[in-house]
Amino acid sequence: MKLEKYVDKNKQKRKVILISLGVIVLISVSLLLYKTFASFTESAEFPIMNGKVDYFGNSDIYFVFYQGDKELEEMPQKDNEENLVFDYGECDNGASILWNESEWAPLVKGLNKVKTKCSLYFKEYEPTFDKEVVKCGQAGTGAAECIKTNANLDTTNLMADDTSEANIRYVGETVNNYIDIGDRDGDGNPILWRIIGVMNNITNLDNGGQQESLIKIIRAESIGYYSWDSSAQGINDGYGVNEWSQADVMKLLNPNTVYSGTPSIGGSLYWNKGSGNCYNDVYERNTTCNFTSSGISEEAKNKIVKVRWNTGTFATYNTSEWTAKTTYEAERGSHNGKELCESNGGGNNCNDTVPRTTTWEGYIGLMYPSDYGYAVGGEVRDTCLEKSMDEYNSDSCNTNDWLKPSDHTWTMISSPYPSHAAVVFRVYSSGYVHDSSAHYSFEVQPVGYLSSSVKIIDGNGEKGTPFIAQ
């Protein structure tokens, strides 16, 4: 009996000892696990193969990659062709995620539980270049360099053309290229212009004839409907003369000019913020015009420089050849708008005695047909640049061109019409380029070049927050 009690006591003692040891082991394991996972931090050391993470195969964490709601098969590589950048990430089980841009890798913190899922979201890169513009302006960089900087950020609406000058142009249907150059109406409200682009190898006559890269701008709104040129009935049948250096509209826009013809009609009204009469029809017919509010202001004039403009045209009349590039080359060529008419026998439609030129030196011009042609953007750009601009009302060329006017608008270049020396290119309201007799009354949108000393100090080009030129 005593032996049985002794055995029972030993069994109980061993049982207590085993239970105690078990508790100690359990506590030790628990502490070890807690210490391991509570302070666990993972960076780019996941079992990733070719950008994929094994779903819990050899790890307690896995990743899923998204572009919006679309799940991606693998994590986008740095500098990927789709132009995807990291947007944000989120993990379950209380873990959080950071992104290391330089390493192009996620950093997970607070991973204190096994089987944790993290989702990484990527999006298309959207340039936010307004701050860059302000930065380069404050650093003293010229306006042209600012736009060139933006061209490295905004590859959708700023593109180099395919000319030998490789000019940088704004392209597309909707572009943020508004600029305030200090132009003001009679009440002091801003009159905005828009940037056509940065044109290279422009002869700046206000800077000793230096070849420079200058910003070319166009007034955002027209100043009214006027003849490109008109003439007396006995000169080219009264339809005008297609020579820019003496055109009525040139004299309207620039300083120190006097209209030919009716003595009561004076020149430089737009330049001088004046009022009087302007030509608007055949046979030197005219109408009252008032630019006291809409004329260019002194502050704006101080930013626009005198340059050498090209005013050449095609050698032959073939509408199928009027692509943006061939027109650009013709504008810089040696042919004028009268020689084809003269070679075909002339006549009353070609009897003016005005000398023809292919360059002009002045301040304010009009857009070139090629400016309109090269402003097309979007997915149709390549297709449209191969087309004649006479066909820009097809294949959505006109609807993807921010320079498409709301109504017929004059350009600066004469047309080599075979039987008339009074024909000039214009952009039609439907969005294609063709020509018309100079006497017609169409919209006039002044164009100029900004001085290389002008800087952009603020703004992002939107209409409500235009670039501010100083």
pLDDT band, residue 200 (cuts 50/70/90): very high
Of 146-150, 258-262, 379-383, highest mean pLDDT: 379-383
Give the tokens for residue 454.
């002008």
Domain boundaries, the chain: 48-124, 129-470
pLDDT of residue 20: 60
pLDDT at 33: 46
At 25 the pLDDT is: 52
More confidently predicted of 35 and 367? 367
Write the pLDDT tens digit of every residue in 306-318.
999 999 999 999 9
Least confident among 48-52, 232-236, 414-418, 426-430? 48-52
Report the alpha-carbon distance of residue 455 to residue 144 in Å, rounded. 8
Least confident of 4-18, 111-125, 266-280: 4-18
d(CA 290, CA 452): 31
pLDDT tens-place string over residues 421-467: 999 999 999 999 999 999 999 999 999 999 999 999 988 899 999 99
pLDDT at 93 (0 to 100):
87
User: Within a 10 A sphere around the Cβ of 289, how many other Cβ atoms?
Assistant: 21
Residue 51 has pLDDT above 60, yes or no: no
In this predicted structure, the answer to whether residue 171 has a pLDDT above a threshold of 50 is yes
Q: What pLDDT is recorded for position 5?
A: 44
The model's confidence at residue 166, banded by pLDDT at 50, 70 and 90, is very high
Residue 141: pLDDT over 70:
yes
Identity (one letter) of the amino acid at 448? G
d(CA 168, CA 146): 12
Q: What is the mean pLDDT of residues 389-413?
A: 97
Identify the residue with better confidence: 331 or 61. Answer: 331
Given this model, what pLDDT does residue 402 score? 98
N- to C-terminal Cα separation, the chain: 113
Q: Which residues of 345-373 are buried (b: 16+ CB within 10 A; e: fewer)?
A: eeeebbebebebebebebbbbbbbbbbbb
pLDDT reported for residue 3: 40
Which band of pLDDT confidence, cut at 50, 70 and 90, is reported for residue 13? Answer: low
Per the model's pLDDT, the better-predicted residue between 247 and 43 turns out to be 247
Per-residue pLDDT, 42: 42
pLDDT at 214 over 80: yes
pTM of the model: 0.73
Mean pLDDT, the chain, rounded, equals: 87
Residue 54 — pLDDT band, cuts 50, 70, 90? very low
Q: State the pLDDT at residue 2.
A: 42
| Per-residue model confidence (pLDDT) at position 314 | 98
pLDDT (mean) for 64-72:
92
**Using 50, 70 and 90 to split pLDDT, how confident is the model at 213?**
very high
- Read off the tokens for 440: 């017609």
Question: Cα separation of 257 and 229, whole Å?
Answer: 14
58 has a pLDDT exceeding 70:
no
% of the chain exceeding 90 in pLDDT: 68
Per-residue pLDDT band for 48 (boundaries 50, 70, 90) equals very low
At residue 21, does pLDDT exceed 70? no
Residue-level pLDDT at 170: 98
Average pLDDT over residues 120-140: 70
The reported pLDDT for the residue numbered 52 is: 41
Query: Torsions phi, psi of 109, nearest 5?
Result: -125, 155
What's the token pair of residue 330? Answer: 């013709």
pLDDT band of residue 376 (cuts 50, 70, 90) is very high
- Look at residue 1 and tell me whether its pLDDT is greater than 60: no
* Highest mean pLDDT pick, 123-137, 159-173, 456-470: 159-173
Mean pLDDT of 15-38: 52
Check residue 26 and give its pLDDT. Answer: 57
* Six-digit token string for 90: 């989120």
Mean pLDDT along residues 113-140 = 73
CA distance to 267, 280, 327, per residue, from 409 (Å): 21, 14, 17
Report the percentage of the chain scoring pLDDT > 70.
Answer: 84
Q: Cα separation of 43 and 45, whole Å?
A: 6
* Predicted pLDDT of residue 388: 98
